[in-house]
Chains A and B, each alone.
Chain A
Amino acid sequence: MNIVAIRAVILVAILALWEIAARVGNPLIYVPPSAALPALGELLRLRSYPDLPEHLALTAQEIVVAYGLAVAGGLGVGFALGLHRVLGRAYGPILAALYAVPSVVWYPSLMLFFGLDAASKIAFGFLLGFFPVTLAVLAGIRQVNTHLVTVARSFGASSTTVFTKVMVPGMLFTLMGGLRTGLALAVIGVIVGEILGSKSGMGSLINHAYGLFRTADYVALVIVTLVLIVASDAVASLVERRARRWTA
């Protein structure tokens, strides 16, 4: 039996066990798959939550804006710290220390500052996505072969040429990894923010379903959110592979 078949068997076994356990136990709390699937159908046919598309679109928008800001900020700060020795040595450790703080401690302040609407989720997604991008730029710059830079300079390349032709290709591998992690974390930031307190977006629907004990709807909403997350990661991995082929 090949490995894929074994994995499929395990997956089916888990679902079957879950179904049995849920029926024996409390179906309201454990939500058997047989109850989750119809709920998902109802959700997708817009019966249980007719405004699902708006909420889904809002969450997606928050993710896009948060990630865009995180990439811009991360690249800016990363290159500023990476290309100036003194700045990097002064602020790099401060940045690393802040990265060691569990990110969610900032969220109540952001909520107080930006309110319950999209802005606080965007700010939190930005904050989470910002660090991996910045740190990847810093790590990438350290990886660039200094001989190549020297050779390019001595052949008369301008700073811009050195930057675009030597540095960026040399660090692209690390940079793409950081950009991908940044996206995953920006997504998590937006969703954590929505679940901790919001009036609209997928997190608010999940909270609504959970608060009303509509557990089957809750599972269905989680599945839809997961699809959004997996799709965003699939796009990122596609871009990453493209970029890697370009440098190779």
Chain B
Amino acid sequence: MSATLRVRTLQAVSVIALLGLWEAVVRAGYVDPLFVPAPSAVVRGFGAIAPTALPALGDTLLKTAIAYVLAAALGVTGGIVIGSVRALHDTLHPFVGAVYGLPKILVLPWIVLLLGFGTAPAIAYGTIHGLFPILVLVMGAVRDVDRTLLTVARSYGARPWQVYVKVILPAIVPSVLASLRLGVVFCLLGVLIVEMFAGVRGMGSVMGGLANGFRAPELFAATGLVSVASIAIVLGLDHLNEKLSHWRG
């Protein structure tokens, strides 16, 4: 048996064994199905919540998409500007670093107070969540551009815009793509947190409601749905990334 096949078999066997064990333990009555429902109950739960959960997931993903576009646009341009202008970088980087490192959750109540319940705080908080990882990574990438390349380009008479378009931008593409892959998870995380904290719509509020109602099978199904959606988004971005790097040569 080849190594890859062995690994695949081990993966498949462990997942199936885990699900089987889980089902058996619940059926045998070792754990309370109120807290840990059997996988079969979770599947039935998915059937029950699908009519409400799927539109809610769409709502959440739409907010995430808006937040992501804002975070990416602000993060990448901000990162390039702050990273490439020395004076700006030297003055601002402790502030950016501090805001990046601190838990954004502490300002969440204030954002909700300011923007109310609904879509606006979710988008705002999702944007803040996604913005800083992108900003910090792009800033660092611009700082890491080979100084020699810049000097050579300038000494050959490149204009400032040419330095940006011909040297800095091509050099930072891999880091920008990596930051964008990271950023989308942060945006989704931010949107879900707001929906759980003060949501009236979206998957976060659906899950919060199911937890409060002690509807474990439905809650597990909803958790699985969001997990699958976010893994699919990240894999999709990875795929896109690979295609782009292929095209870049």
B14 within 8 A of A: yes
Interface digits, B191-213 against A, CB 8 Å rule (1 contact, 0 not)?
A: 01100110000001001101100
Q: A226 to B192, Cβ gap below 8 A?
A: no
* Size band of the interface chain B makes with A: 35 or more
Closest residue to B103 on the A side, CB-wise?
A: A188
A130 within 8 A of B: no
Q: A90-B7, A113-B35, A191-B106 are in contact. Are A108 and B189 (CB under 8 A)?
A: no
Closest residue to A98 on the B side, CB-wise?
A: B227
From A108, A112, A191, A218, give the contact of B105 (CB < 8 A).
A191
Q: B188 to A102, Cβ gap below 8 A?
A: yes
Q: Which of A189-231 contact B (CB under 8 A)?
A: 191-192, 195-196, 206-207, 210, 215, 218, 222, 225-226, 229
The majority secondary structure among interface residues of chain A is helix
Q: What are the residues of chain B within 8 A of A105 when measuring CB–CB? A: 192, 207, 223, 226-227, 230
From A6, A97, A107, give the contact of B196 (CB < 8 A).
A107
Q: B108 to A195, Cβ gap below 8 A?
A: yes
Q: A191 to B91, Cβ gap below 8 A?
A: no
From B14, B193, B196, B223, give the contact of A90 (CB < 8 A).
B14
Q: B105 to A207, Cβ gap below 8 A?
A: no
In whole angstroms, how far apart are the Cα atoms of A97 and B101 in the complex?
24
Q: A29-B114, A105-B223, A210-B113 are in contact. Are A6 and B91 (CB under 8 A)?
A: yes
Count the A-B residue pairs with Cβ separation under 8 angstroms: how many?
A: 115
Q: A90 to B103, Cβ gap below 8 A?
A: no
Q: What are the residues of chain B within 8 A of A225 when measuring CB–CB? A: 106
Interface digits, B77-115 against A, CB 8 Å rule (1 contact, 0 not)?
A: 000000000000011001100000111011111101110
Q: What are the residues of chain B within 8 A of A90 when measuring CB–CB? A: 7, 10-11, 14
Closest residue to B4 on the A side, CB-wise?
A: A89
Closest residue to B90 on the A side, CB-wise?
A: A3
B67 within 8 A of A: no
Interface-lining segment among B140-148, B152-160, B214-222, B240-248: B214-222
Q: B196 to A108, Cβ gap below 8 A?
A: yes
Min Cβ gap B45→A in Å is: 12
Min Cβ gap B226→A in Å is: 5
In whole angstroms, how far apart are the Cα atoms of A90 and B109 in the complex?
42
B185 within 8 A of A: yes
A10 within 8 A of B: yes
Chain A contact residues, CB within 8 Å of chain B: 3, 6-7, 10, 29, 86-87, 89-91, 93-94, 97-98, 100-109, 111-113, 184, 187-188, 191-192, 195-196, 206-207, 210, 215, 218, 222, 225-226, 229, 233
Given A108-B223, A113-B35, 6 other A-B residues pairs in contact with their CB atoms under 8 A: A7-B95, A10-B95, A108-B196, A109-B220, A210-B113, A233-B101
A to B CB contacts below 8 Å, 21 in the list: A3-B91, A7-B95, A10-B91, A90-B7, A91-B11, A98-B227, A100-B185, A101-B226, A102-B189, A102-B192, A108-B210, A109-B216, A109-B223, A111-B211, A112-B219, A113-B36, A196-B208, A210-B112, A222-B107, A226-B106, A229-B102
